[in-house]
């Protein structure tokens, strides 16, 4: 039996409305000790906001975090996975898309329901050796991206 996303995901997900300010979103991340928020609008998941988004799109560009909305700086479209997806597939998606978090949703004919979020940290908690393997994979993928480097 393989490990599924639901076996390692965090079930409590902090969300933020698209109309909140970047400052409020950053405060939420600080309050809950997390590095990302799932963004919603009218009950639908529309994006994800990470610390990196706030740093690069607000702080580094000199914008006022009280005047910038989450909608302006969030990453979209958001990539989601379902809870029964094999964990290996979710990890593959993370590496391919170069992301560290995946919202987990259950879909039926009428709606999409947010049930959790899986991060590289959640995966690393599964087994300490797995963190080393993940780091090695990231290093290999970065080396492959180098135009003048060849792996034999």
Identify the domain containing residue 29 by its residue range. 5-145
User: What token pair was written down for 45?
Assistant: 């998941």
Statement: residue 146 has pLDDT above 60: no
Lowest mean pLDDT among 36-40, 96-100, 128-132: 128-132
In-domain check, residue 19: yes
- Count how many domains the chain has: 1
Statement: residue 148 has pLDDT above 50: no
What does the pLDDT read at residue 140?
A: 60
User: What token pair was written down for 6?
Assistant: 């639901």
CB within 8 Å of 19: residues ≥ 6 apart: 41, 69, 70, 71
Using CB atoms within 10 A of its CB, is residue 72 exposed (0-12), middle (13-18) or buried (19+)? middle
In-domain check, residue 135: yes
User: Looking at residue 115, which CATH number applies to its domain?
Assistant: 3.10.580.10
Overall residue count recorded for the chain in this entry? 152
Mean pLDDT of the chain: 87
């Amino acid at each position: 039996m393989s490990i599924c996303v639901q076996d390692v995901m965090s079930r409590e997900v902090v969300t933020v409305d698209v109309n909140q300010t970047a400052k409020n979103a950053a405060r939420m991340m600080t309050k809950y000790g997390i590095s990302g928020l799932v963004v919603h609008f009218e009950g639908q998941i529309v994006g994800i906001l990470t610390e990196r988004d706030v740093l690069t799109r607000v702080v580094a560009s000199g914008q006022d975090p009280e005047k910038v909305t989450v909608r302006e700086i969030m990453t979209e479209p958001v990539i989601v996975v379902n809870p029964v997806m094999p964990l290996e597939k979710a990890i593959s998606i993370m590496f391919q898309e170069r992301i560290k978090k995946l919202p987990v949703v259950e879909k039926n004919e009428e709606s999409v329901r947010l049930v959790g979020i899986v991060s590289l940290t959640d995966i690393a908690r599964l087994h300490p050796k797995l963190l080393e393997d993940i780091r090695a994979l990231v290093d290999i993928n970065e080396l492959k991206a180098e135009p003048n480097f060849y792996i034999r």
